[in-house]
Amino acid sequence: MDGANGLVFIAGQGPIDPDGDLVGAGDFEAQARATFLNLRTVLAAAGAAEGVLVKLTAYLTDMAHVRTYGRVRDEFVGAPPAGTVVQVGALAVPGMMLEVEATAVVGAGTERS
C-alpha cells in the first residue's frame, strides 16, 4: 500500500524507557518529555511525523499539571491538533503521571513543511 493515505491509531504512550522502567518518577515535566519522545518514536515507525497528528487524548493523574502538559506538547507537536485532557485516578504503571493516545494521518502528501 505504498503512498496510500490512512489513519494510524497510537495506543497510550507513557514515560517508559525501552527496558520497561518508569522515567522521571515524581517529575511531571520529565515524564511528559519522555512520553512525547516515545510518541515521536512510534510515529516515525509508522511513517508519520508530528505534523500529521490529528487528535491527542491525554490522561493526567492530576489536572494541576495541565499547563505543563500543554507547554511540553506544543514543544513537540507545534500547533496542537484536536485534543482532550482528562484526569484519571491512576494509570497502568505505579508512579506514571500521564499517558497520551494519538491519531495521525499517514501517506502521500501528509507531511507539513
Domain containing 85 equals 7-106
Residue 11 forms part of a structural domain = yes
What's the Cα-to-Cα distance from 3 to each of 54, 91, 110, rounded to whole Å? 19, 36, 10
Q: Which residues, including other chains, have CB under 8 Å from residue 95's CB and lie 6 or more apart? A: 22, 25, 26
Phi and psi torsions of 90, nearest 5°: -165, 160
| pLDDT band for position 92 (cuts 50, 70, 90) | very high
The pLDDT of residue 79 is: 87
Q: Residue 111: inside a domain, yes or no?
A: no
Instruction: State how far the Cα of 49 lies from the Cα of 47, in Å rounded to an integer.
Output: 7
Domain tally, the chain: 1
Asked if the structure places residue 1 within a domain, the reply is no
For residue 84, the model assigns a pLDDT of 98
Whole-prediction pTM value? 0.88
| Residue 18, domain CATH | 3.30.1330.40
pLDDT for 4 beyond 60: no
* Domain assignment present for 51: yes
Contact of 92 with 39, CB cutoff 8 Å: no
pLDDT above 90: residue 113: no
Cα gap 100→35, rounded to integer Å: 7
pLDDT average, residue stretch 76-85? 93
